[in-house]
Amino acid sequence: MQLEAAIQNTINVWLNGNYDQQTKEEIQNLITKEASTELTDAFYRNLEFGTGGLRGIMGAGSNRINKYTIGTATQGLSNYLLKKYPGEKIKVAIAHDSRNQSDFFAGIAADVFSANGIHVYFFSALRPTPELSFAIRELGCRSGVMLTASHNPKEYNGYKAYGADGGQFTSPDDTMVMDEVAKIKNIDEVKFERDASNIELIGEEIDQLYLDKITELSVSPEAIARQKDLKIVYSPIHGTGITLVPKALAQFGFTNLTLVKEQSTPDGNFPTVVYPNPEEKEAMTLALNKAKEIDADLVLATDPDADRVGIAVKNNDGEFVLLNGNQTGSLLINYLLTAWQEKGKLDGNQYIVKTIVTTNLVEEIAKSKNVEFFNTLTGFKYIGHLITSLQGKKTFIGGGEESYGYLIGELVRDKDAIISCAFIAEMTAFYKDKGSSLYNAMLDMYVEYGLYKEELVSLTKKGKTGAEEIKAMMEKFRNNPPLTLGGSKVKTLKDYELGIETNLDTQEKTKLDFPKSDVLQFITEDGSIVSARPSGTEPKIKFYCSVNAPLADKAQFKTVDAKLGDKIKSLMADLQA
């Protein structure tokens, strides 16, 4: 078996270095089996500590999630904190989800922080990601870590790093942390010896504080009081949502919650699903079956770390339909602005936020209500950073991104499925109280603002060769943009990596006021948009397609929707030609 010299050198370091025997045996077994592909993928690079932290497959190796890559990341983060806050008693918070080994990796992170003299608030049991963000802010921490791989398959785990505002690190701090992690060249530089005096357990007291403050955000308590027996089905998909979503719904005033029992026990093997992802219809199957059984008004399902939520509602034919992230996000913003307006709370000082790949319908709704809106790059950390920068100057009502992540209010700085579940239920009660349904509220929204249809098309390219293929595809699109998409001329190319918007008719270039990001957007004459970007957390290149058309009447929804679906297929066919 012949491996590249650099890969073999890294393997030798792990076999001869200060690593435990179990790790060395795992590597030796792969060598004995001559598993060159697995060895190459496990050792061809150091698992990159990116702008959001780490995410990868669990196992032995420099490109895997294990005690040593988690320890190295935490030592680098500790070094950053000690340099940034010299002479200060630094505090951090740590939480973990239900994934296999998440609790173990959380313990490793606590060991390393404590050994570096940093005080750790350690959640005594699994908790959702947004509660960690809340705890960082509430407890005056300088940083925090969440052990989760979000909605990835069961073999993955990850490490989300947060700054003092409760949001994931943004520039320049993200680069500073990454640099500190990269500086660690030897595992002996990592302090693994726990100092128990620096670790303090937290739990239910933070839960209650968080729930109380969420409840204060409620806009339509009267509607909930009248519709408190709204039939809600909820699944945590074997994750952390079970700790807080039922309590949040109860505290808002909902009394008729049905749990999907088969998915209510936290389990890192996710035994009832292929992917623990509420974007996948398959993951929602048990919840939909329960909803049909009891004739529910609303179906909610959260991912393992409970920062994202998928929903289903009944259409006018009595069938349960899944809403995508753009539909739910648009409904939430439309509801919030409508409810705030009805209460006379809109005074021109409020704003909402979305990302550049999220539906422009949100923008149209905000304009109609004279509410300021902002676009940010993809990644909720940019929304969180904006909220922090405007804190005390303007009031954030809500916002989100197409990937099923939303936030209402300023309590946290990450997407929050706990708050979102409570407000989606409140929104359902609000419309039911007016004699409508969430589905009809969506159709009414489309009649008023136009029918916007979005679709995400992902191409998976695994391993080293896959990463190279994705890079080559982006270069091709960048240097040779398509002339037409879906039968309409491409008139604008936005290149967020170069920070340039180009009018393809005149070749006139203008500067884009965004941080650098490897995203390309093609905008056609008829208003269709295709955005291409490599995923930051998965081996995928993603294409976000958005098309729209007027909807004169609710009865025409299915016809117009089908035509827009055909248009998206045409867009993608042209792009892949």
Structure tokens given for 360:
């422009």
Q: Is 411 helix (H, G, I), strand (E, B) or coil?
A: coil
Residues of 279-288 as b/e, b for ≥16 C-beta within 10 angstroms? bbeebbebbb
Residues 532-555, buried b or exposed e (16+ Cβ, 10 A)?
bbbebbbebbbbbbbbbbebeeee
3-class secondary structure, 458: strand
**What distance lies between CA 251 and its chain's CA centroid?**
25
Report the catalytic residues: 150
Please give the torsion angle defined by the CA atoms of residues 543, 446, 312 and 279, in that order, rounded to the nearest 10 degrees. 10
Sheet holding 53-57, edge to edge: 53-57, 156-162, 143-147, 91-96, 119-123, 199-202
**Residue 209 class from Cβ within 10 Å (0-12 exposed, 13-18 middle, 19+ buried)?**
middle
Sign of CA dihedral 561, 564, 570, 571: negative
Place of tokens 């056609």: 524
Please list the residues that pair with 272 across neighbouring strands.
none
Alpha carbon distance 106, 120 (integer Å): 11
Beta strands in 7-150 (DSSP E): 53-57, 91-96, 119-123, 143-147
**Consecutive H or E run containing 176:** helix 173-183
Q: Indicate the helix (H) or strand (E) that contains 361.
A: helix 361-368
Residue count of the chain? 577
The rounded distance, in Å, linking the Cα atoms of 148 and 159 is: 6
Name residue 320's beta-bridge partners: 314
Host H or E run for residue 159: strand 156-162
Q: Which amino acid is at 362?
A: V
DSSP H or E run through 162: strand 156-162
Query: What tokens does 246 get?
Result: 């039922």
Answer yes or no: are the C-beta atoms of 96 and 128 closer than 8 Å: no
Residue 117 CB coordination number (10 Å): 13
Could you count the other beta carbons within 10 Å of the beta carbon of residue 259?
A: 17
Alpha-carbon span 345 to 339, nearest angstrom: 9
Q: For the chain, how far is it from start to end, CA to CA, in angstroms?
A: 39
| Residue 90, φ and ψ in degrees, nearest 5 | -85, 140
Instruction: Return the amino acid letter for 538.
Output: E
